[in-house]
Amino acid sequence: MTRLHDLFASEGQSPWLDNIRRGWLTSGELAGWVDRGVRGLTSNPSIFQKAIQGSAEYDDQFRESIVSGLDLEASYWELVTSDISAALGILRPVYDGSDGLDGYVSVEVDPGLARDAAGTESAARDLDTRLNAPNLYIKIPATAEGLAPIRQMVAEKRSINVTLIFSLDRYAEVMEAYISGLEAAEGDLSDISSVASFFISRVDVEVDRRLDEIDRPEARALLGKAAIANGKLAYHLFQQTFAGPRWEALVGRGARVQRPLWASTSTKNPAYPDTLYVDELIGPDTVNTLPDNTLEAFEDRGTVARTIDVDVNGARATIAGLAALGIHMDEVTQKLEDEGVSAFEKSFDELLGVLGEKAAQFR
């Protein structure tokens, strides 16, 4: 039994892999991760950019797509959906064995639609219909424009991974979109599943940068504290939201909670422990999606213990301390949301540029 198995069995947290490569699908490496305790997989435009741009494994399929007359963007989605379909098959036994709790594979809609509600809704519906698997999550960014499509997709009984959540206020809006979507859905709700991807390490990167500029003892004392504090408060908000008469009425129809998923959990600052954003955010009804190197680190030296609701008052004090220094989380998180949307869009555009160069050679 590995630490990853223990993480789920003893603390109720599901470890997922935050990466995908075609070689892992064909070589058995992803299946090996599943055997070691990985219970799901997430992808995003940046992950696919690295996988496709950094490997010749996709060239044959891409050449066939171009020769058949598909344009660049359609060819890109052929590559992506092929990988996602293969991953769905590998994770399907986890889905079946967990009664639909885990075993999900996430794929994101075109990042260029993040500020386009109608476009996001249409793309999410089309992608879900195209892949047509019970253990598929369609990723929709948690922008203001993404809230209505999230609600609509849930009302249509489509399973959604809401991504790029940084702020507690936006997280509250995401949970409301999920719950109101469930209320609008007809009949039994047990086949609807969702996670809310709350981003962690990037918060420390931005807040630490601002603290370094202040360079006072009280600022230095808060270095590396903001991201964990933000996550703990998000979990507290989750516990408050999925309770009470309104929620219990949905449970009576088979509804499942929308689990918090800790994303961006690799440590960006080498001065911090490489398992920091795993060790400090462990608790029931949560998911942590980790890049493969962070999974390896946690397997080797991580600590399995419930930490997510330890010292919540201390988390509040951390956020208050930052505000006293002029660092306001609403400003930080809005900046991070904007940067996250731009980064995924840039990855998508850069990859299309590289594919365009390859297409010219193939033609």
Active site residue 50: no
CA dihedral sign, ordered 216, 265, 78, 113: negative
Question: How far does the chain reach from its first CA to its final CA, in angstroms?
Answer: 51
Please, is 188 exposed, middle or buried when counting C-beta atoms within 10 Å of its C-beta (0-12, 13-18, 19+)?
exposed
Using CA atoms of 362, 83, 192, 262 in order, give the dihedral in degrees to the nearest 10: -110
Cβ–Cβ under 8 Å, residues 131 and 89:
no
CA–CA distance, 190 with 183 (Å, rounded to integer): 13
Which of these is catalytic: 50, 139, 232, 335?
139
CA–CA distance, 169 with 332 (Å, rounded to integer): 13
Residue 109 is given by DSSP the state P
Cβ–Cβ under 8 Å, residues 46 and 108:
no
The residue type at 19: N
CA–CA distance, 285 with 297 (Å, rounded to integer): 23
Q: How many residues does the chain have?
A: 363
Going by C-beta distance under 8 Å and a sequence separation of 6 or more, which residues neighbour residue 203? Answer: 166, 226, 227, 230, 332, 333, 336
Active site residues: 139
